[in-house]
Amino acid sequence: MSAPILDQAPAHQPMPTPPRRRRRALTLLIAGTLVLLATGIGVSVAIASRPTPTASPSAPTEQPVAATADTQPGPTQQQPTQDQQTPAPGGDDTTTRKPAALADGQHPAYIRKLDTRGGTVVVDVVQVFKDKAAVDAAIQDGKPRDQAQYLAVYVRNENPRLRTLPLASGFQVDLHGSCEDSTLSRQQLLNKLASNARIAGTYYYLLTVKDGAVQRIDERLAINAC
């Protein structure tokens, strides 16, 4: 058995690292650390210096616009019909004119005023009874029978209301029992009509009315003929 060699190193003892290699490894470690630190600092600076994004202005919210007098739809208006726009000829349109003072036809009346310049006549409508009806009406109104029994015509005037009617263009006049009417001028005929109308109780007049205007005036006796 051989004696152990004292100068021989143990088989498993690690070899010491030369000083130069350790310095190089340390240098690389420090350099890597510095690179990591520089990178981290750069990233932090970049994050810190990056401008904070401002909120982009959002699109304005469309607000409902209040309707004005020009834009607000108003109530639908019904268009007038043809009948409403233009009254039918001869119709009594009370919405555009006054009702006729007398309806079309013949009406007995006293003439209270005749205005040929203004083209109007003022009348007082009466009731006329003849023969037996005249006698009965007179008695009903208080006339003694011995006076009423001879009446051939009787005029009753219960309503004092006066009506003004227009005279139609070219209206005609017929005076009672006057043979000279044909020789009188129109103005003379109208003057005599106005004069006779002022004689109380002697004459009444039969008015022919059409479309609210007097077309004809016929003079009648309100008393017994002689």
Residues 223/203, Cβ–Cβ less than 8 Å: no
Give bridge partners of residue 110 from the DSSP assignment: 124
Residue 87 pLDDT exceeds 90:
no
Residue 64 in this model has a pLDDT that exceeds 80? no
Least confident of 49-63, 67-81, 106-120, 178-192: 67-81
Instruction: Encode pLDDT of 65-78 as tens digits.
Output: 343 333 344 444 44
Topology annotation, domain 105-126+164-221: OB fold (Dihydrolipoamide Acetyltransferase, E2P) (2.40.50)
Look up residue 147 and give its amino acid: Q
Looking at residue 15, its pLDDT comes to 56
* Spatial CA neighbour of 102 closest among 196, 222, 205, 220: 205
For the chain, percent of residues with pLDDT exceeding 90: 45
Residues 6+ apart with CB under 8 A from 201: 155, 222, 223
Q: Which amino acid is residue 51, in one-letter code? A: P
- pLDDT at position 90: 43
Position with higher pLDDT, 162 vs 54: 162
The token duo for 35 is 């690179």
Please state, in angstroms and rounded to a whole number, the distance separating the CA atoms of residues 155 and 107.
13
Rounded to two decimals, the pTM is 0.56
Is pLDDT of 30 > 80? no
86 confidence band (pLDDT: 50, 70, 90): very low
